[in-house]
Structure 1
Amino acid sequence: MESSELDKPEVPWPADAHLYQPSDGNQILLPELSSCLAVKTYLRMCNLPFTEKISENAEFMSPGGRLTHLPLLRLGPIQTFAEFEPIVAQVEIIQDGSSLNSWMTEDQRDDLRSLVNYVENVFTLAEIHMIFMDMVNYQLYTAPRSEAAHPWPLSTIRRLDKQKAAQRLLKVYQWQDMDNDQVLHELGLCVGALIDQLEGNQSEDFFLCGSRPCELDALVFGHVTAIMTTKLPNMELAEILSTYPRLLAHCRRIDESLFEGKLLATGDNEKPLEMLGK
């Protein structure tokens, strides 16, 4: 990444850019964490400063979205954007010709958008399915976190609302009747496509779409990091990712370059992630 291209003085990035998310400690759910990590990684790749704000009401502050409604990016006093793809689209508008993927051709950018959409859908739906439809994960992980920010009986109402919203979303994408094996199969197909991207490059130092990073690298890093560092009762998502060392090595290189290698230490599935927004 060439910082000289990303730090042009005419880029109107506000000084008061704030990124809102729920607490990592006891509230945020795996798909939400993945989206938050992906956005934070992307903003760091773009050399754009932001201040992380932890808020129990981050989801209710969100202007909406397709999948998780998080994180919420507030640019100045008025503009707000939520989720990975809308935030990336807004950053590209702000940065114009100096955006992270400006080195690509228009056809390459179109292909990239399609791949980003596919990867985000598959990873997020797999995460949602695994924490809401797997009953062990739901009872021991999802339910307590869904209730954490609210007193009873609002906590129970909120948990049921999130469960119903997850079930509706899975039904829209026709994932509601899948079992865990089918979900892992879909995730494996997606990861296989990413491995093909990596193997299409001639050097292990290259990124998913070439010699420079792009939003796909940030998105994949966010999901892989969240899955590998979230302690679930059923760790099948992490187990299947562990069978793709090339993908993990790619994510560890991003970890080392942006986060001093603190997030994906080998064999550590309980590493705290609070340093990401600092």
Structure 2
Amino acid sequence: MAHLSYFVKQRPNAEFISPTGKVPLLKVRRTLIPEFSGIVDFVAKKGVKLCAHLSDSQIAEMRAHMSVMDVLLRNVEMYVMWKHNDTYTQLTRYRYGSVYKWPLNWILPAMKRREILTKLQDSGWGDKSTEEVLEQYEKALRALSSQLGSKSYLFGNQPTEADALLFGHLFTIITMSLPCMDLKNAILNYTNLQDFVTRVETEYFKI
């Protein structure tokens, strides 16, 4: 979206070399910049801001939407991937452990699951039922769909950092085959969100 030159490297140990233990991870020469917000701040300091055309009030609103996505959508996704038993046993455990040899391919997913479940508990999500989690997800999607409306992007005809973040969340769920289809089905209830994903993929990621 920002038309910056980059290339992608797949690294099984990305989370372990990340300063915060989280991905995505950007490497610029010897500098490591972790997480979406860190990368956005880094390129902004270089003078690249997708939101440069927005007013101060719109930027504040954009940041509020990004906060919802970064906290609520992330917690929902972690809940489904790591706490939902069918998803963990049929998908997450194997995907996370696939790059390691036995016995690490069993030990590390179990350790990661304990770590995630502790984080969910600390953030008040550990005791929620699946139905409660899906209800929160539906509310977030409804708000994002309302903000998008009939526009091409969340704040008009030009993409912002919020659009990049939203695309990442929605595209991942839509294109992933999950035992729990509730998240994908919730997204598919909103035609404008589906169209948004298709638009961004076609414009920025199709070769």
Same fold (TM over 0.5): yes
Aligned length: 207
Match of 1:70 in 2: 23
Match of 1:103 in 2: 53
- Alignment of 1:236 with 2:182, yes or no, is yes
C-alpha deviation, 1:85, in angstroms: 1.2
Match of 1:123 in 2: 73
Question: Secondary structure of 2:8's match?
Answer: strand
Question: Secondary structure of 1:103's match?
Answer: coil
- Alignment of 1:58 with 2:45, yes or no, is no
State the percentage of identical aligned residues: 29
- Give the counterpart of 2:44 among 80, 92, 104: 92
| Amino acid in structure 2 at the alignment position of 1:75 | V
* 1-structure distance, mates of 2:152, 2:85: 40
| Amino acid in structure 1 at the alignment position of 2:166 | V
Q: Deviations over 1:242-273 (max 9, x none)?
A: 1111111122111221123xxxxxxxxxxxxx
* 2-structure distance, mates of 1:212, 1:64: 31
- Alignment of 1:225 with 2:171, yes or no, is yes
* 2-structure distance, mates of 1:232, 1:210: 32
TM-score by length of 2: 0.94
* 1-structure distance, mates of 2:152, 2:101: 49
Question: Secondary structure of 1:73's match?
Answer: strand
- Give the counterpart of 1:183 among 133, 137, 150: 133
Match of 1:256 in 2: 202
Segments of 4+ moved more than 4 angstroms: none
Match of 1:211 in 2: 157
- Alignment of 1:170 with 2:123, yes or no, is no
* 2-structure distance, mates of 1:114, 1:88: 15
C-alpha deviation, 1:177, in angstroms: 0.9
Q: Deviations over 1:106-125 (max 9, x none)?
A: 33222222220111211111
Q: Deviations over 1:190-226 (max 9, x none)?
A: 1111112122xxxx34310123110111111111111
Question: Secondary structure of 2:46's match?
Answer: helix
Question: Secondary structure of 2:68's match?
Answer: helix
Unaligned ranges ≥5, structure 2:
none
| Amino acid in structure 1 at the alignment position of 2:34 | A
The alignment's C-alpha RMSD in Å is 1.5
* 1-structure distance, mates of 2:172, 2:104: 28
* 2-structure distance, mates of 1:108, 1:251: 22
- Give the counterpart of 1:141 among 71, 74, 91: 91
Question: Secondary structure of 1:51's match?
Answer: coil
C-alpha deviation, 1:84, in angstroms: 1.0
C-alpha deviation, 1:156, in angstroms: 2.5
- Give the counterpart of 1:82 among 34, 53, 71: 34
* 1-structure distance, mates of 2:163, 2:204: 12
Q: Deviations over 1:62-105 (max 9, x none)?
A: 1116xxx011101112x11111111111111112xx52111122
* 1-structure distance, mates of 2:69, 2:168: 11
| Amino acid in structure 2 at the alignment position of 1:190 | A
Q: Deviations over 1:16-75 (max 9, x none)?
A: xxxxxxxxxxxxxxxxxxxxxxxxxxxxx000011101111111111116xxx0111011
* 1-structure distance, mates of 2:122, 2:158: 35
Question: Secondary structure of 1:80's match?
Answer: strand
Work out which structure has the larger RCO, using CA pairs closer than 8 Å and 6 or more positions apart in sequence: 1
* 1-structure distance, mates of 2:99, 2:117: 21
* 2-structure distance, mates of 1:158, 1:198: 39
* 1-structure distance, mates of 2:91, 2:9: 23
Whose helix proportion is higher, 1 or 2?
2
- Alignment of 1:49 with 2:5, yes or no, is yes
